[in-house]
Structure 1
């Protein structure tokens, strides 16, 4: 996704005091779309995220013959047996590139899958090998990467498979989501370094069970029995990971930000923001009104293993660059395989503004230094835009290259950011 114009990240001239209503969770939306496509009857999805990633998922399912129609509150999905021939564009969406191939393997006919140039570099090999072992006929040119072609026979045998999912939990989730429709279901065993983003696997299991699937789990083991996927209404929670930069603004400016609708219990990894921001010195409170973060204008660095919540790293790294003490963020080597090599990108861009960030084998070491304005490159990575916005709160002149790439998960971000800074405490005009 490209955009010719740059964006000058606004600098805060006072503490923020805002309520920020977030759109729906990308992770829940795209899981709900897959489960709806495989359901035993029509499904409604309420308050889904509408973004490049979710629109690509809806388009992929439509290409396979599944009805996905817009409604006033979201989407209405009419399931159908997946069918080719079809050509699917996954863009740069990890959920689309890893959740759609197992569904496409159920299709009768040929399905070609490709995406953005960077998508052809993101880890896919374990999923491709697993699909072959489960009975799929596919051609990836021996690369273990996109593009690939599936020659479907209208079903997949399923069974037991062992993979190394240390590159992405999505490699497991993709197999599990479609598994109720496999002839034997699936048993996935992971062998290798720990699987990252465990909360996303918990989300997959919880949503499968909510759709009537039988799922058993053990250490590095997941079993899904064959059977129907129940048609149901999905209500999508706000995207808590996309709260990071807004809540972080409270720390940077010494202000207050409330996110309404924060769920009391959730599998979203973004829920960890409560603990992570508190560890940096924020006051975090929950109420029926939502989650509120208050800052004092000074805050400390963070020493944290982010293995389970790697998507929060860009914004946390930006906060760390502005903190009063050094930070060490570890457990995130897998971020090198995300939309870009996020560790290298964060180090390069923060250092380009005068920062002191050192790459570790599995993370970043960040020593705060006075920063200056300059161009902040985003590498077609939505979360790099969010990180730059946080830096711009305290550093005048941060020019964000290709801000449009944030539309991957949060269209309208720059407008929301402007509203955040324009908001005033109740009673002030």
Structure 2
């Protein structure tokens, strides 16, 4: 069924709003997985309820975990892992984090997903599991890995494995999260170019240690020692990446947006958006007592061009690219070749959609060069990618008649985005 295009709300004046965003998808899904592997029950407070987290919870249920939702509070009771079917949707955390868990189950676990998931690189996960002693049933087609099966034998030898994780940090995190349950633990040695999204690996390590797991870290080498995972109470921070479109709204309209409960310290990549906004001319203030982060745009929404290495914060690229299309000169975003393997080829998608609205865009080997020009309305295609959808909404604030092809794709990580956005704009 084809979605009805969404007329992105236009802001005739600077926006002024206070916004709350739901919990972090990355933290929620890691907490769910660690809770399923724990020795006893766990509670998760502030959990995100979105398509990606629902897919993770449903997958763990299919393998024998009891998960009970009460609003954004979740109770998790581990069970004996058994075979079943996992629907990955388009969620990279399910696609890359659950196969190592499946190797611990008794029985076959089959993984399926959305059509678009076929484009997400998976070879590193499957090859690394084979090297650690797992039995994998797959199509043999590296470019279309789904469906594939993992034959669980109640445990996995584990040990040291050398992988190239230059396409995704999730290849590392997936092995580390299940590693304490491997007989020998796991040592992951990265052998390729720089690993993207390093903050997400730091998040994985921090959460493993919080669950009582011993983790050693050195350059391109991570060791998780075998041992119990403790059941515990997890508190999920707001999703800072999902907050960035709202903060961008202040920058492009010359307004002011306040986000509640911004953490004082965090491993979330979205925290670095504060520095990007400052480099583009916005004012950013964080009240450490109230937790409110305030962004004020320059009068008239004038933005400065930037040159930024986005390698560690690639998921922010669609938001930042939208800002660059409205800036006062050429911007260069680089270090993000790995985005070609995300929910869609984000570099190609951004080039096509920004060009379609009149912007000058050139793809490089590892990024984008963006040359602003007078922009006009038109259809903004979303490619089943939630970050592409929110990028279109940002542009629609200051460009009349922007239609976002499928705004419902935002339910992947941010439920009710349309309502939250319209309330912010006052539409």
**What is the DSSP-based 3-state SS (H/G/I as helix, E as strand, rest coil) of the residue aligned with 2:107?**
strand
Shift of 1:146: 2.5
In structure 2, C-alpha distance between the alignment counterparts of 1:3 and 1:383, rounded to whole Å = 19
User: Does residue 118 of structure 2 align to residue 120 of structure 1?
Assistant: yes
**What is the DSSP-based 3-state SS (H/G/I as helix, E as strand, rest coil) of the residue aligned with 1:322?**
coil
**What is the DSSP-based 3-state SS (H/G/I as helix, E as strand, rest coil) of the residue aligned with 1:394?**
coil
Give CA deviations for 1:239-280 in whole Å, capped at 9, x if unaligned. Answer: 000111100111111111111100000000000011111000
Aligned pairs (5 A) from 1:198-277:
198-277=198-277
**What is the DSSP-based 3-state SS (H/G/I as helix, E as strand, rest coil) of the residue aligned with 2:99?**
helix
Residue matched to 1:150: 150
**What is the DSSP-based 3-state SS (H/G/I as helix, E as strand, rest coil) of the residue aligned with 1:4?**
coil
Residue matched to 1:416: 420
Match of 2:293 among 291, 294, 303: 291
TM-score for the superposition, normalised by structure 2:
0.97
In structure 2, C-alpha distance between the alignment counterparts of 1:79 and 1:406, rounded to whole Å = 30
Residue matched to 2:172: 172
In structure 2, C-alpha distance between the alignment counterparts of 1:175 and 1:118, rounded to whole Å = 24
Shift of 1:342: 0.2
Q: 1:78 to 1:161 in 2, by over 3 A?
A: same
Q: Which moved more, 1:271-280 or 1:286-295?
A: 286-295
Question: RMSD of aligned C-alpha atoms?
Answer: 1.0
Residue matched to 1:348: 352
Contact conserved, 2:46 with 2:72, CA < 8 A, in 1?
Answer: yes
User: Does residue 47 of structure 2 align to residue 45 of structure 1?
Assistant: no
Residue matched to 1:306: 310
In structure 2, C-alpha distance between the alignment counterparts of 1:18 and 1:316, rounded to whole Å = 20
Shift of 1:120: 1.6
Gap regions ≥5 residues in structure 2: none
**What is the DSSP-based 3-state SS (H/G/I as helix, E as strand, rest coil) of the residue aligned with 1:22?**
coil
User: Does residue 383 of structure 2 align to residue 374 of structure 1?
Assistant: no
In structure 2, C-alpha distance between the alignment counterparts of 1:220 and 1:350, rounded to whole Å = 36
Contact conserved, 2:10 with 2:400, CA < 8 A, in 1?
Answer: yes
In structure 1, C-alpha distance between the alignment counterparts of 2:160 and 2:296, rounded to whole Å = 49
Residue matched to 1:334: 338
Shift of 1:73: 3.8
Q: 1:261 to 1:3 in 2, by over 3 A?
A: farther
User: Does residue 396 of structure 2 align to residue 392 of structure 1?
Assistant: yes
Contact conserved, 1:16 with 1:421, CA < 8 A, in 2?
Answer: yes
Shift of 1:141: 2.2
User: Does residue 142 of structure 2 align to residue 138 of structure 1?
Assistant: no
TM-score for the superposition, normalised by structure 1:
0.97
Aligned pairs (5 A) from 1:12-161:
12-84=11-83, 86-144=84-142, 145-161=145-161
Contact conserved, 1:3 with 1:404, CA < 8 A, in 2?
Answer: no
Contact conserved, 1:180 with 1:213, CA < 8 A, in 2?
Answer: yes
In structure 1, C-alpha distance between the alignment counterparts of 2:196 and 2:397, rounded to whole Å = 31
Gap regions ≥5 residues in structure 1: 424-429
Q: How many residues align?
A: 421
Contact conserved, 1:3 with 1:405, CA < 8 A, in 2?
Answer: no
**What is the DSSP-based 3-state SS (H/G/I as helix, E as strand, rest coil) of the residue aligned with 2:82?**
coil
In structure 2, C-alpha distance between the alignment counterparts of 1:26 and 1:3, rounded to whole Å = 26
In structure 1, C-alpha distance between the alignment counterparts of 2:172 and 2:353, rounded to whole Å = 32
